[in-house]
Amino acid sequence: MDFAAGTVLLVNKPLKWTSFDVVNKIRGALKRKYGSKIKVGHAGTLDPLATGLLIICTGKFTKQIDSYQAQEKEYTGTLLLGATTPTLDAEMEPDKLYPTAHITPDMVLTVAAAFIGEIEQTPPAFSALKVNGQTAYSAARKGIELELKPRTVTIKEFEITHMELPEVSFRVVCSKGTYIRSLARDLGHALDSGAYLTSLCRTRIGEFRLTEAWEMPALREYIDKQE
């Protein structure tokens, strides 16, 4: 690989790492090896509590980041019915509890199917979106409520893969800009309950698959062995 001229790396983002953590580790490894700064960027942020496929571009390939970000995404994950959290995932403790006794597996399947197609989705308060120059998650951590406008996204597939209520496992294929945390929240609301993500893994971006991705220790070892 010619990292300086430009290459595309597929990386499995570790749990609790930010996407920038991955970029920073790779950038640091390249600088230690080659003695000069090489441009490195990622195509599509994953939340710290999400794992899975992250496309990393180096050199001139960083100019193609927008085209990779625009591609279709696939995720697998689990959600828990009966509660919500401020972050819509397990980063924070539940702030509200809801009934679940009325929810049946058939209800979950029917409601999930109703989300397939173009839908309006409001981004999470804890997200990287900027409103008037202010990042939503920074404002949320200060207790400031920003007006986050709904956006149109496309859910191509929403498959329920396993249920042990109140826990639900799923697979989603969706367009750029889709927040799976928001999808979980909205599914809970549609079931007259609440829901939040307990795990999430991105398995595909366009034709790039997680099965082809580097684990970070192996990638850093590979970089260190380059001539």
Note the Cα 198 to chain centre separation in Å. 13
E runs forming strands in the chain? 6-13, 40-42, 50-59, 73-81, 83-84, 96-97, 117-121, 130-131, 134-135, 151-164, 167-174, 195-205, 208-209
Q: Is position 224 annotated as part of the catalytic site?
A: no
Give the DSSP letter of residue 214.
B
Task: Decide: 115 and 178 in contact? Cβ < 8 Å.
Answer: no
> In degrees rounded to 5, what are phi and psi of residue 42?
-120, 155
- Please tell me the distance from the alpha carbon of residue 158 to that of residue 225, in angstroms, as a whole number: 42
Q: Catalytic one among 21, 47, 89, 186?
A: 47
> In degrees rounded to 5, what are phi and psi of residue 140?
-60, -40
Q: What are the Cα distances from residue 148, in Å, to 14, 18, 122, 134, 151?
A: 29, 22, 7, 12, 9
Task: Decide: 62 and 39 in contact? Cβ < 8 Å.
Answer: yes
Cβ neighbourhood burial of 132 (10 Å; 0-12, 13-18, 19+): exposed
The residues annotated with a catalytic role in the active site are 47
